[in-house]
Amino acid sequence: MTPDELRDRILRWENPHTDFKETVDNDIELAKDLVCFADSDGGQLVIGVAEDRSVVGVPDVDEGRYYIRSGARCHRASREELLRLFQAARSLFYDEQPLPRLDLADLDLDAVSRYLRDTDQIDLDDDLVQLLHAWRMYDGSHPTVGGIVLFGRRPQTALESSRVVVGALAGDDIGDDFVDRKDVYGPLFSAVAQIETLLQLHLRTGHEIVGFEKEKREEIPMAALREAAVNALVHRDYTIPGPTRIFVLSNRVEVRSPRRPPNSVDAEAMRAGVHVTRNPHIYSRVVAAELATRAGTGIRRITRLLKEANGTSLGIAISDAEVALTLPRGPR
């Protein structure tokens, strides 16, 4: 309601759909008034207007505090919890938030130039700082989360949530011992290449003679694994400090990304191609590099690649803590 609308409402005063109160001293009376509106055809209860129609306002009872329910208790929201609430409401995007401890020197401008060459945008190479500002990678004083994820000199030092762990386990249980475990360092584009190399070390690749040609047969298509890894890094919640985790087990590969998808997107919606972008500025740069597919087709592409390669199906498990994609390994 705008100030003009409020003044007009006060002039017309109370009617079946409008009631005014100077203060609310009794919760029961307030509840009764609201139920009366709810049980008829609706209305508005305006608090802070006196009987003489003067606006007296209401006290600032919240004192600028935010509260959130966790489990069975209510507590004051932390900065990270507030950021997640605003993200869910799409009031802000975390990838455009500046990191005040950092400055321009923490961005690798040579990496930006390479990105422009690789994406055939070399004509934009005149003023890299201005370009980063336009991309929401830099706010004029500090790099943003997206800037560090994509072009940071030491992303994992500056932003703990940019960490990636790739591990190979001895069996098919996530609790089995690691036979190999590596931390991946560097910005997103470098991280994807490293992930691909590490996965190739632990997955089988065979060959089949087709006609007179020898064709490579991967037990899990590398294109599907790459898509899953990129999906995790682009769409993960960077307010959560935990790493993106990729596990190679004896019968599958799991790609685990912190936090559930935004806007109540579930596994069925993901399979149907529903697309809600958590980090739009990171996403747009990755799409321009042709490292991610557009508008919700990534999961469907992984599903198709698995079916064509070995007849298996993509598993999707969603909890409040994470999204886990499961890519089954082909028959031995």
At 236-280, the pLDDT tens digits run 999 998 999 999 999 999 999 998 888 778 999 999 988 888 899
If 0-12 CB within 10 Å is exposed, 13-18 middle and 19+ buried, where does residue 217 land? middle
What are the structure tokens assigned to 37, written together?
């509106």
> Which regions of 157-238 does DSSP assign to beta strands (E)?
164-169, 178-184, 205-210, 213-218
d(C-alpha 223, C-alpha 163), whole Å:
22
CATH fold label, 160-328: Heat Shock Protein 90 (3.30.565)
At 158-204, the pLDDT tens digits run 999 999 999 999 999 999 999 999 999 999 999 999 999 999 999 98
Q: Residues with Cβ < 8 Å from 59, sequence gap 6 or more?
A: none
What are the structure tokens assigned to 96, written together?
């455009």
The residue to which tokens 């011992």 are assigned: 177
At 144-168, the pLDDT tens digits run 999 999 999 999 999 999 999 999 9
pLDDT at 152: 98
- The domain locations on the chain are 3-47, 61-92, 160-328
